[in-house]
Each structure stands twice: as structure tokens, then as C-alpha cells.
Amino acid sequence: MNSSADVQGLDECAVRLVDPERVASVNDRMPAEDAIVDTSDVFSLLGDPRRLKLLVALLDGELCVCDLAAVTGLSESATSHALRLLRAHRVVAVRRDGRNAFYRLDDAHVRMLVDLAVAHTEHTDAIHPER
Amino acid sequence: MNSSADVQGLDECAVRLVDPERVASVNDRMPAEDAIVDTSDVFSLLGDPRRLKLLVALLDGELCVCDLAAVTGLSESATSHALRLLRAHRVVAVRRDGRNAFYRLDDAHVRMLVDLAVAHTEHTDAIHPER
DNA sequence: TGGACATATGAACAGTTCTGCAGATGTGCA
DNA sequence: TGCACATCTGCAGAACTGTTCATATGTCCA
């Protein structure tokens, strides 16, 4: 929509710019604010080591809360809270069976991100063992 | 290392498990704690909408601080703080030219993640315009 | 039906994170 | 040299996040 033709228009609010053309073109390409927020929300969910561990654990298939707690080392309450958050964002889904609740990954995009991250981890482990 | 043969050994700390075999095999595959933390750190950097916007802006090439501030709508101080953090994690790098500082993306993995996220954004925008 | 069990939830506290402000640093130009 | 400019930094307050504790819900089994 905003072509670099109306760059001058952007100056109205008196901000100094070094490269106004680039700024305009970057603004053109920039996703909507909502999209940015949604995306950063997803990254944010993966940005906690315990939640990430939960999701890695779920890569191979469903697990119940107590098993997830065992894998991550979290208390069952903390695990439940974390899963609740992931569920609210539709990253995981539940299957209830008797008194157990089995969680599974339910978002292809997130699965891809977690897969990628694990792959990258192994990769850099091999290359930079100093960390 | 831990084969499912020594599953019983895991019971020592008296945690009830529904599917001990799966827990053991998930534990086998689980990356080291350090790797998990490092990975979640990266996701965490992308988990803030303002930082994510900065990184999206940098996808096409370097920009100076004031232009980045203009693009993201952040104050220059906040921009500088955010860039500092990204720099500390080697996600971006600086080139100084006179009194300006030009930042660029400096981590191929992060670039891929941001690219992917933007692509996915556009994709789901088209499919689920209700959001 | 009653009690043990698995999970979920709410409230409160602790730790972390982000921003604005004020001032510091370093650069360019007159 | 002195001043304006671009950026950086430390600090303090505000906002957010994650955990624990206590309690609630719903299920199974005797």
C-alpha cells in the first residue's frame, strides 16, 4: 500500500530518519501488529525451558500429566499450569481417559519449530561442544 | 545410555508413572538441560513483539538505531536496550559509521526462524482472516 | 457410597523483564 | 575547542510470569 512515493508523508510526526526509503519499504513488508503479537506469543511459549521440555517430550506422542512431570522434573501442579497455558493457545490438546489426562502436540507449526530447535541443538552440540 | 532395561531404577525417587517405558525413552532422547536452556533463550528473544519486529525489520539488511525506532514505534532508548540484549546473544551485530550504529541480523538460525514465522503469518492470515 | 487418586484451579508471593529517565560516551562540524 | 547529535548505560518503578500451597473437581474401586 505505502509505496516509497509517499515517504515524505511519514515525516509528519517529526522523527529523524537516516534512510527513509528503506524505512518505508520495511514498513510495507511488516506484518500487521496483530500478526506480530500472535507470532511472538508462540515464541514466548517456547521461550520457557520447562515448557520447551514438555513439548520436546510430546514430540513422539501423547503422555499423561504425571509422566510429563517426571520427565520435566516439575511438580504436578506446575506441570498442570504449564499445560493449561499451552492448551489455551491450542499448542497441545488433551484426551481424557478415566482419571488420567493425556496431552499431545496439536499444532503443526509449533511441532516444526520444536523439531528444528532440537535438530539445531544436536547440530551445534557436535560443532561447539564448549557450551 | 539409559535403555528401557533399567526402567525400574528410575522408580527409586518414588514417583508414580503411567508409562515408565515411554518416560525412559523420552528421557533418552531429551537434549541436555543446557541445550534446552540455550534453545529456550533464543525463543525467548523472539517472544517479545518489539524485539520480533526489530528482527523482521532487519531481514532485508542493516538499519541504524533511529530508523529501527521509527519502524517499531519504540523510543530510541528502548530500542537501544533491546538491541543490546540481542547483541549480547549474538543475534545481531553492529557496524559503526560515524555517529550512527547500523545493526544487522547475524545468526542464521534466528533468521530462519523469523523468516518461517513471517511466512507462516502470511499463510494463516490468508486462511484464518478472522483473527 | 466412601476414600484414594489424578488432575485442575485460584490466590499469593518471588523473581524477572521492560521502559523511561538522566546522564555518560564518542563523533562530526563550525 | 565547543556544541549538537546519535547512541549507550545504570537505575528504579511498573508490569508480567511462574511457582507453591491449598482446595476443588471428577474418576475408579472396594
Q: What DSSP element (H or E) covers A93? A: strand A92-97
Same domain? For A116 and A87 the reply is yes
Q: What is the CATH number of the domain that holds B82?
A: 1.10.10.10
Residue B128 has what pLDDT? 52
B76 closest-nt by C1' vs CA? D7
For residues A80 and B10, the model is more confident at: A80
Hey, of B12, B40, B89, B124, which one would you mutate to test binding to chain A, going by the most A CBs within 10 A of its CB?
A: B40
Same domain? For A81 and A47 the reply is yes
Which B positions 19-38 lie with beta carbon below 8 A of chain A?
19, 22-23, 25-27, 29-38
The minimum CA-CA distance between A48 and chain B, rounded to whole Å, is 6
Same domain? For B13 and B64 the reply is no
Check whether residue A66 has its CB closer than 7 Å to nucleic acid strand C.
Answer: yes
Chain D nucleotides close to protein (CB under 7 A) are 5-11, 17-22, 26-28
What's the total number of domains in chain B? Answer: 2
Same domain? For B19 and B51 the reply is no
What is the spatial distance between Cα B94 and Cα B62, in angstroms, rounded to a whole number? 9
Strand order in the sheet with A63-64: A63-64, A100-105, A92-97
Segments forming the whole domain that contains residue B50: 37-127
Q: Which residues of chain A have pLDDT under 70?
A: 1-15, 125-131
State pLDDT tens for residues B55-96. 999 999 999 999 999 999 999 999 999 999 999 999 999 999
Q: What ipTM was predicted for this assembly?
A: 0.86
Same domain? For B109 and B93 the reply is yes
Same domain? For A15 and A59 the reply is no
Same domain? For A50 and A26 the reply is no
Same domain? For A45 and A101 the reply is yes
Same domain? For B20 and B41 the reply is no
Give the side-chain half-sphere CA count within 13 A for B45: 26
